Structure 1
């Protein structure tokens, strides 16, 4: 149960700006120790919670207050809890908690910067249908990006069907992504909500994200945009990368980034294989970018993060090995073709990739032999 977790404040950075690495869920080293055992049964209603936050609280005490509020809400039946939360939200009152916007592995919030944001998330946990409907109220009336983050999550998670096809949701994402105030001073919740773009999928926002990745004056926005493009490519390489093929000027100023994303192609899939080939032989690709591609292809690196909507796919090591070996065969075949031999930079890139993948193949074979020996030893001992 989440109420039994011990928290620590965010100490990291890339996500101190809010996105792309795991949040740690323990108390701050500077806060008062949280005695979970003595508080896990305590309860505090919404009014008492609001009153508690009118006083200065240590971070540890603030966590306890939210745990007690959650205990109270979870003790009520769904209808009563929903009404109490909605009554508070409709009043328009709010108060800061002194805590960060902190996402847990199950997509819920372990902490929130304001009471309203925390209650919006509690509503989503207690009554998803009511939360999805109330999301429209947030879209129409709220100017708080953290509230929008929860609203986007609530609406999308409750949608019955392919969210990519929902025009209303797409319109809200456009409004979210074009809010100059939020872009200039992004909150952690705003940056976390880029996950809604990844969850929706498709190619609608790829060019918008490319523009923000390059043009944004805020490093956190640029980072979140680049990460979103990369994650879109991981989820649907063909759809995402076709946009970049059709718009060769996109990400031109960040050649390594573009190379790393194109290098995610899985050549076991014919469509992805075709895109990788088109990219390699494009005349506008610099030698620097080609070398960057060859140094990581196939790019199997993954960012670990707790997200509002998406779940990181678990991939077996055997699948990674299969992709590496398939990529080696692809490179070996391509390097023999005249078009590769007649292009010095492409030939150099393919050789670079081949050398690295041959080393990986040797490592895989050593691992397989060691595994076979262990299995033989086990059989003999039995």
Structure 2
């Protein structure tokens, strides 16, 4: 019995020693715990902490202009730097659009604050773009940042833009840049609450001041050329003689074309008055006789007073036989002028008559002229014109 008990005790001792040994070896193989892997006390036992996953590298993106926000005052330095970094006209247009989008998407008060902050600073920046009107008196391009922001001011608050225009045009006049001057005139005209007579007088006086500045007319920009549209907007035909003087051969081509277009549109707007101004001029620019003939050919002969005025033109000693023939071969001129302008809207051809009615009235007038002794010098041309109008109207020489 004692021997059996001894053997059982021995086996128990050996089992305990072996278990202790195996436990010791297992612990010896385990690596120490990194303190960084210990869950934070703020994480509950039920939460699972995902190991960090390395993000795949993003594909290369094309270079895009940096976006900035116009929060005054620090932002303008960033915007100026951004605009100055534009390396092409297209890049400048993109940067200006970003600026406009950023300002116009802000709350109105913040947007106005940002614009006024820049305007009050007196700063400016050349954009390298030309002055370009767009549809419905909008602006597609301006040569200066200041003019660009004045356009945005008009979009946000036309009345405030008109107040700025009144003040700066009155105080600074042509010391302003032409682009700013032009935008101010548009802003004033479309935003002021002044009575119509006062508004038109202010605009005409500002146009006259611009035309009297020799530096502006001697080296005109697209903005200066566009100023002539002010007269079309106000309907001031008294500017016709002054505009005709700008059409002299040898003068800047840009201003010559603008003056010719402005007179044409004044003729379309108020033909009898505008053509009377032309006919009463003591002199007409040498070499521009065909232009004068073209203006008279635009008149609707069905208008009251038109037949008499056209006959006075054809019999005037100021009009050579060559000019008279050019007029007759162009008569009636039904071509339409299409353009985007600073202020004026599209003007329909003279009068409310249809093209068919205008040609019938012209045919009757030409037939009357053929029977008048004073028109005998033009007889061969009158016959030619009668046949041409007949053909246009009826598809044959004699109806």
1:156 is matched with which residue?
189
With over 3 angstroms needed to count, the CA separation of the structure-2 counterparts of 1:359 and 1:164, relative to structure 1, is farther
Instruction: Give how far 1:317 is off.
Output: 11
Distance 1:113 1:72 in 2: 20
* Greater Rg over alpha carbons, structure: 2
1:103 matched to 2:119? The reply is no
Distance 1:165 1:60 in 2: 37
Instruction: Give how far 1:73 is off.
Output: 2.1
1:222 matched to 2:256? The reply is yes
1:304 is matched with which residue?
338
- Which fold has the larger relative contact order, with Cα–Cα distance below 8 Å and residues 6 or more apart in sequence? 1
Distance 2:272 2:196 in 1: 18
Kept in 1, the 8 Å contact 2:159–2:191? The answer is yes
Instruction: Give how far 1:363 is off.
Output: 4.3
**Contiguous gaps of at least 5 residues in structure 2:** 1-61
Distance 1:292 1:177 in 2: 31
1:353 is matched with which residue?
385
1:239 is matched with which residue?
273
Kept in 2, the 8 Å contact 1:99–1:112? The answer is yes
Moved over 4 A (4+): 314-318
2:115 is matched with which residue?
85
Distance 1:166 1:241 in 2: 21
2:53 is matched with which residue?
none
Q: What TM-score results when the alignment is normalised by the length of structure 2?
A: 0.74
With over 3 angstroms needed to count, the CA separation of the structure-2 counterparts of 1:108 and 1:300, relative to structure 1, is same
Aligned residue among 136, 151, 162 for 1:132: 162
Kept in 1, the 8 Å contact 2:207–2:227? The answer is no
Tell me how many residue pairs correspond in the alignment: 324
- The aligned runs of 1:167-182 (5 Å cut-off) are 167-182=201-216
With over 3 angstroms needed to count, the CA separation of the structure-2 counterparts of 1:43 and 1:163, relative to structure 1, is farther
- 3-state SS of paired residue (1:300): coil
Distance 2:283 2:114 in 1: 52
With over 3 angstroms needed to count, the CA separation of the structure-2 counterparts of 1:292 and 1:164, relative to structure 1, is farther
- RMSD of Structure 2 on Structure 1 (CA): 2.7
1:147 is matched with which residue?
180
- 3-state SS of paired residue (1:329): helix
- 3-state SS of paired residue (2:220): coil
Kept in 2, the 8 Å contact 1:203–1:243? The answer is yes
- The aligned runs of 1:1-382 (5 Å cut-off) are 44-45=69-70, 47=76, 48-139=78-169, 140-141=171-172, 142-159=175-192, 162=196, 166-214=200-248, 217-251=251-285, 253-313=287-347, 319-340=354-375, 343-345=376-378, 347-363=379-395
1:193-244 Cα distance to aligned partner (Å, 9 max, x none): 2211211112221111122222762121122112211111111111111112
Instruction: Give how far 1:49 is off.
Output: 2.6
Q: What TM-score results when the alignment is normalised by the length of structure 1?
A: 0.77
